[in-house]
A and B are shown apart, each in its own frame.
Chain A
Amino acid sequence: MDVRVPRLAEGVESATVANILVAPGDRIEKDQVILELETEKAVGPIPSPVSGEVARIHVKPGDEVSVGQPLITLSESGAAATAAPPEPKAQPAAQPKSARPTAPEPARAAPEAAPAYRYTSATGAPPPAAPSVRKIAGELGIDLTRVKGSERGGRITIADLRSYIAALQQRPADGVAAAPAAAEKRAPQAIDFSRWGPVEKKPQTSIRRTIGQRMHESWNAIPHVTQFEDVDITNVTNLRKQYGPDLAKKGKHLTLTPFVLKAVVAALKKYPIFNSSLDEATGEVVYKKYFHIGVAVDTEAGLIVPVLRDVDKKSLADLSQELNALVERTRKRKVSLEELQGGSFTISNQGGIGGGHFTPIINKPEVAILGIGRSSLKAAVKDGKIEARPILPLALSYDHRVMDGADAVRFIGELVGMLENFPEELLKD
């Protein structure tokens, strides 16, 4: 039987042959796309109404064809060939009742009309395509065995690849089609908030966007768990009172953070997994033998994390001074790029502005971060009696791919022990 040009759309009587996807001798299935027709509006695939073998092709690419004109002749081999209406049934149904011709309807029939094609050869050879075509397909992540070649021996041309991609874009995401990921992602619909009241639009600064990207990346890549703890810092408070004034005379302002830095280093030394990174390419854990601690600084532009080097090798007093200078420079946006790199662990101290427990996001590729809230006097039980003690909220977020909850409890336990009984000799340099 002959496959003829179907009714295309209201008012559209002719079309141009864009691509022929079969060759004489090809065995084709019902609904398999045999060729593509182009009108002023779009390119649409023409499915075969029956199964059979291609006996003759009456047209060639570029030919102008009219509705009802024979396109190919099929020899109906086997009983499977059933007489079908001359037009694919999906078309009239989808026809809009509009005076203006829209598009050749076959385009919309594509999802049903394009069966999952698979190239197979008894020889085991890959689908025939020139190296240039293979390279483009590889870059787009397209499996060439799914692309029907239009040339001799089923050779795939750039045009074939293009029409395959076009068909993919028309097809609803069915999970089966190997659609390139990029094609699936769509820009979210913009919401017009002014419908509900006055608004003002300000672009995000580039640093804000960078922070956003980093946070999103870390949040997506790392399974975060946050461990909460409270620590009684009476001891540290007393030490600050005892040593603070002397140091202040030397121009060194003794804050809480250096105590936490020292406690963190002690805990990192005891539990080195917290001072590591995961090499996702090799599946190796990289243990760092250095202790560079990042300190989150709240600046006008947004969060910036400069890094204090070799925290283990510096005295508390020096750390204090260095930290204050670093924070100052960071706020003025005067830190160098090097000072922002190479951290092995991060501390985010919100105590200066208040705050309780929170769930900090890990500074990837590090594997843990310690969040500190503001200390406040709280009722605590001391030697069986209730006393008002300064209590500091701690929150440790960790990468659950690298360590488990038990590790986190041990690590935070070490921190608590250190802060509650802070070794006084660390203050004497």
Chain B
Amino acid sequence: MEPIKTDIVVVGGGPGGYAAAFYAADKGKKVMLVEREKRLGGVCLNYGCIPSKALLHATHSMRDMEHSTARGVAFSKPKVDLDKLRGWKNSVIEKLTQGLAGLAERRGVEVMQGRGYFEDSRTLRVETSKGQKFVNYDQAIIAVGSRAALPAAFDLGNKRVMTSTEALELEEIPKNLLVVGAGYIGMELGTVYATLGSTVVVTEALPNILTGIDSDLARPVMRYAEKAFKEIRLNTKVAKMATSGKQIKVNFTVEGKQKEETYDRVLVCVGRVPNCKDLGLENTKAALDEKGFVKVNAQMQTGDPAIYAIGDVVGGALLAHKAMKEGRIAVEAILGEYSTSENVVIPAVVFTDPEVAWCGLTEAEAKQKGIPVQVARFPWAASGRAITFDRPDGLTKFVIDAESERILGVGIVGVGAGELIGEGVLAMEMGATARDMAESVHPHPTLSETLMEAAEVFYGYPTDTFVQKKRTPLP
């Protein structure tokens, strides 16, 4: 059979893959996008970011109405129509995936549904529903992503043990739900189910929730979680799970003691693993690192000069926007343009209640590495806007190079933190100093003011709070 010839083949139609394919097509390349699922969008759109945010929005408004009573506006107790909620969530996915398909078509990106397998450095075999197809390419971009890890000990073949993918299907609202892992996925989905009516217990093997986040940013989330969840057990390991009728029997190890409980459902959120297997990488010169991710250089090029890899499959932060940026870097490298993944600021957002968002250097990291920094904090209790919507449980902070006053890190916790962090990213990418931030007028009354005021705290003259010692006089 005559192989299909293309300039670039992108394997995987998630955010990294379609961003790379679209960009390459916009730059004049003949592009083929291979996706094993019927719909484009990958985990992010179909089983991750988008459905979880849709559900979080629905449940957030439920809580908001509840809190409203204290403000003198009472609503009757919300009724959850699970089918309708699931249907709405699915319609959100449908709308966005159809949008993607249209965008691919308008650019002339050929989408092939099937599983890609590298025959050699220049040939991809695609298993489609209509048999095998061979694609000859000049460059390939691997963007096959990752999947939720389900350790063998928890894999009972029982649908009551879920990963995030199944949890987002929203089959039922279990009476008792155990969430294993207090990382961002566990905390977000735990919040959804708790609001919908489940009694939720969260366990975490490590001593903190949201490991890696500065403790002052995690604190408001912890305070909220303590109220929303029945229990948060830190330093707790799940030793064993077993099917027990219509329930799951779970054995814990807490501080050396054994404990056994039964749950209606268990949600396992213990990390994600790259989808590098069954890809035929062994037929190319691409290599994996010791953690099983595809090894790439700063131009996203693998050990095989014709093959690039981006997104979750290369490790680092497993985030859609990181994959999208890497997709652009790979395409620019293929086009011979200068592009590098070095010193790119990748923000992170946790959509808990309240949200946490950060970028650049964290305070904890600076401390651990002995980097000389100053930290400026502006508590939202001093923000007029936060008080007007009754959520003063927030904080905006900067990690600043004391010498050059350059902003090295931004951390925000509070409602809508995810929407605010973009300004932090821009500030960092532009090499802004705290002075630049302090002198840029922000509209009042908004939460964005907290960024300006945190920078003013650094100089000792914030309007809405008081700092004891002045650092430098106003010029």
Q: A12 to B356, alpha carbons, bound, how many Å? A: 60
Interfacial chain B residues near A186, Cβ < 8 Å: none
| B340 at interface by CB-CB < 8 Å | yes
Interfacial chain B residues near A121, Cβ < 8 Å: 401, 403-404
Residues A125 and B305 in contact in the complex (CB < 8 Å), given A130-B430, A152-B435 = no
Interfacial chain B residues near A153, Cβ < 8 Å: 401, 404-406, 431-433, 435
Q: A387 to B332, alpha carbons, bound, how many Å? A: 68
Q: Are A282 and B373 in contact (CB under 8 A)?
A: no
CB distance from B347 to the nearest CB of A (A): 14
A98-140 residues with Cβ-Cβ distance < 8 A to B are: 121-131, 134-135, 138-139
| A333 at interface by CB-CB < 8 Å | no
In-complex Cβ contact of B338 among A125, A126, A128, A135 (8 A): A135
Interfacial chain B residues near A155, Cβ < 8 Å: 406, 430-433
Q: Are B371 and A124 in contact (CB under 8 A)?
A: yes
Q: Are A154 and B404 in contact (CB under 8 A)?
A: yes
Q: Are B404 and A138 in contact (CB under 8 A)?
A: no
Q: A139 to B406, alpha carbons, bound, how many Å? A: 25
Contact with A along B291-312 (1 / 0, CB 8 A): 0000000000000110000000
Q: Are B436 and A152 in contact (CB under 8 A)?
A: yes
In-complex Cβ contact of B343 among A122, A134, A139, A154 (8 A): A134
User: Which residue from chain B places its CB closest to the CB of A280 in the assembled complex?
Assistant: B305
In-complex Cβ contact of B408 among A125, A134, A138 (8 A): A125
CB distance from A27 to the nearest CB of B (A): 11
Contact with A along B151-193 (1 / 0, CB 8 A): 0000000000000000000000000000000000000000000
CB distance from B302 to the nearest CB of A (A): 11
A268-287 residues with Cβ-Cβ distance < 8 A to B are: 281-282
| B81 at interface by CB-CB < 8 Å | no
A interface residues, how many (CB within 8 angstroms): 23
| B87 at interface by CB-CB < 8 Å | no
B interface residues, how many (CB within 8 angstroms): 28
CB distance from B306 to the nearest CB of A (A): 9
CB distance from B248 to the nearest CB of A (A): 47
Q: A130 to B305, alpha carbons, bound, how many Å? A: 30
| B372 at interface by CB-CB < 8 Å | yes
B290-336 residues with Cβ-Cβ distance < 8 A to A are: 304-305
In-complex Cβ contact of B305 among A138, A152, A156, A281 (8 A): A281
Q: A134 to B341, alpha carbons, bound, how many Å? A: 12
| B285 at interface by CB-CB < 8 Å | yes
CB distance from B154 to the nearest CB of A (A): 40
Residues A282 and B433 in contact in the complex (CB < 8 Å), given A122-B371, A122-B403 = no
Q: Are B371 and A123 in contact (CB under 8 A)?
A: yes
A57-89 residues with Cβ-Cβ distance < 8 A to B are: none
CB distance from B443 to the nearest CB of A (A): 23
Interfacial chain B residues near A122, Cβ < 8 Å: 371-372, 401, 403
B234-287 residues with Cβ-Cβ distance < 8 A to A are: 285
Interfacial chain A residues near B404, Cβ < 8 Å: 121, 128, 153-154
User: Which residue from chain A places its CB closest to the CB of B306 in the assembled complex?
Assistant: A281
Q: Are A130 and B429 in contact (CB under 8 A)?
A: yes
Q: A138 to B299, alpha carbons, bound, how many Å? A: 12
CB distance from B371 to the nearest CB of A (A): 5
User: Which residue from chain A places its CB closest to the CB of B373 in the assembled complex?
Assistant: A123
User: Which residue from chain B places its CB closest to the CB of A138 in the assembled complex?
Assistant: B338
| B2 at interface by CB-CB < 8 Å | no
Residues A282 and B405 in contact in the complex (CB < 8 Å), given A138-B340, A139-B337, A152-B436 = no
User: Max chain B CB contacts within 10 Å: which of A130, A139, A149, A152?
Assistant: A152
B401-435 residues with Cβ-Cβ distance < 8 A to A are: 401, 403-406, 408, 429-433, 435
Q: A125 to B429, alpha carbons, bound, how many Å? A: 12
Q: A281 to B275, alpha carbons, bound, how many Å? A: 27
CB distance from B475 to the nearest CB of A (A): 9
Q: Are B285 and A282 in contact (CB under 8 A)?
A: yes
CB distance from A357 to the nearest CB of B (A): 39
User: Max chain B CB contacts within 10 Å: which of A121, A128, A129?
Assistant: A128
Q: Are B401 and A125 in contact (CB under 8 A)?
A: yes
Interfacial chain A residues near B431, Cβ < 8 Å: 127-130, 149, 153, 155-156
Among all A-B residue pairs, the 4 with the closest Cβ atoms: A128-B431, A138-B338, A153-B404, A153-B433
Show 28 A/B contacts (Cβ-Cβ < 8 Å), sorted by A.
Answer: A121-B403, A121-B404, A122-B371, A122-B372, A123-B366, A123-B371, A123-B372, A123-B401, A125-B406, A128-B406, A128-B431, A129-B431, A130-B429, A131-B429, A131-B430, A135-B338, A138-B340, A139-B337, A149-B431, A152-B405, A152-B433, A152-B435, A153-B401, A153-B405, A153-B406, A155-B406, A281-B305, A282-B285
19 more CB-based (< 8 A) A-B contacts, given A123-B366, A123-B371, A131-B430: A122-B371, A123-B372, A123-B408, A125-B401, A128-B404, A130-B430, A130-B431, A131-B429, A152-B432, A152-B435, A153-B406, A153-B432, A155-B406, A155-B430, A155-B431, A155-B432, A156-B431, A281-B305, A282-B304
